[in-house]
Amino acid sequence: MENRKLDAYVTERTWPSGNGQPVFIDLGCGFPPITAVDTSKHMLGWFVVGVDRSFARYVLYDAEGHYACFDGAGKFQYFQSPTKPLHENSKNIRDRFESLFEDLSTELKRLDDQGSETVVKEGNRLIYNHVRDFEAGNLKFVESDIDDLNLPPARVIRCMNVLLYFEKSVRKKMLFKIGSFLEDDGIIISGFNHPFGIYARYAVYKTDSDGIRPSEFGFSLDNLRPLGIGPSLTINDEDEEAEFLADMTAAIRTDRIFWAKFNQRVDELQEKYGICNRGDDGFNHFSKEFLTAPPLLTVVKTAALWQQLDVERI
């Protein structure tokens, strides 16, 4: 959801004309490359490049739609369930997929890095170079480290959930390197969002004669009244974007009239969605149903709450 808002932000900006088809780089797009695919569909006039240092070489789907990724040597990497995104990779699951991989991999013949190849057996499906299946006329994928990246100048580079893994000095060097891939007046959008699209925060960076600097900052409403640790999540000290969020939250809370109205509406919606209610003691009291519900359901409920508040634009 937040990535679509970023796409809209990009397309609604005023850009210089006459530079040909603009390039959008999704740096650290991951696999499956959902964000890059969505962007290519919503921004048909742009050429989108999804970049990651490593894409799964083999993807194995079972008959129920669960999948596991394997590297080029056939080594198990991770398992994913579409119905249980937080499912643990138990040994039984790993053993089952490794056995399926051993059985199906011998059926692959071509192994062409420029294309994909699929074998199907008893409802199970093994795909070699699956990332190629996501490509389209305005979308391609490149496997590369930042230092080795060789692409035409980009108007926009989106780099979410990447820089937070590095110390401040390294982040600065990486931002400078990423900035070298921009065309004149191009921008970098860097930040964090939860895998479920919540707790989003991002900064927009521009280059000038003094280097690369933040020019705008935005965040999703759920950061103001979080039910999790998302807004305070940092992996290394001096995370600039996390500090921006803390400063903006503090500034908003100084508006006592807005903050009282905002809190009242959040309390009403939390009770309406069966999440929790505000007790006479001033604390939130969570419902038994919410506390015992599967993780995915609790995320769906809280996401619905914040989407409602976003629609209301309180």
pLDDT of residue 33: 93
pLDDT exceeds 80 at position 161: yes
3-state secondary structure the chain: CHHHHHHHHHHHCCCCCCCCCCEEEEECCCCCCHHHHHHHHHCCCCEEEEEECCCCCEEEECCCCCEEEECCCCCEEEEECCCCCCCCCCHHHHHHHHHHHHHHHCCCCCCCCCCCEEEEECCEEEEECHHHHHCECCEEEEECCHHHCCCCCEEEEEEECCHHHCCHHHHHHHHHHHHCCEEEEEEEEEEECCCCCCCCEEEEEEEECCEEEEEEEEECHHHCCCCCCHHHCCCCCCCHHHHHHHHHHHHHHCCHHHHHHHHHHHHHHHHHCCCEEECCCCCEEECHHHHHCCHHHHHHHHHHHHHHHHHHCC
Residue 195 banded pLDDT, cuts 50, 70, 90: low
User: 100-104, 216-220, 266-270, 291-295 — which is least confidently predicted?
Assistant: 291-295
pLDDT of residue 120: 96
Residue given tokens 């309406």 in the structure block: 272
Burial class (CB in 10 A: 0-12, 13-18, 19+), 284: middle
pLDDT of residue 10: 93
Q: Stretch 143-148: mean pLDDT, rounded?
A: 93
Q: Stretch 64-81: mean pLDDT, rounded?
A: 91
pLDDT in tens, 207-254: 887 789 999 999 999 999 998 888 988 999 999 999 999 999 999 999
Q: Stretch 92-105: mean pLDDT, rounded?
A: 94
pLDDT of residue 92: 87
Residue given tokens 């490593």 in the structure block: 54
pLDDT of residue 20: 84
Give bridge partners of residue 121 from the DSSP assignment. Answer: 124
pLDDT of residue 114: 83
Is the preceding omega at residue 85 within 30 degrees of 0, hence cis?
A: no
Which of these, 200, 207, 210, 232, lies nearest to 306 by C-alpha position? 200
Q: Stretch 103-109: mean pLDDT, rounded?
A: 93
pLDDT of residue 4: 85
Residue 39 banded pLDDT, cuts 50, 70, 90: very high
Residue 164 banded pLDDT, cuts 50, 70, 90: very high
pLDDT of residue 258: 95
pLDDT exceeds 80 at position 87: no
pLDDT of residue 293: 86
pLDDT of residue 83: 63
Percent of the chain scoring above 70 in pLDDT: 95
pLDDT exceeds 80 at position 137: yes
Mean pLDDT (the chain, rounded): 90
Give the domain ranges of the chain: 2-52+134-249, 58-128, 260-312
pLDDT exceeds 70 at position 3: yes
Q: Stretch 297-312: mean pLDDT, rounded?
A: 86
Q: Stretch 83-95: mean pLDDT, rounded?
A: 71
pLDDT exceeds 90 at position 68: yes
Q: Stretch 34-46: mean pLDDT, rounded?
A: 95
Question: What's the whole-model pTM score?
Answer: 0.88
pLDDT exceeds 80 at position 89: no
Q: What is the topology classification, in CATH, of domain 2-52+134-249?
A: Rossmann fold (3.40.50)
Q: Stretch 14-42: mean pLDDT, rounded?
A: 90
pLDDT of residue 88: 58
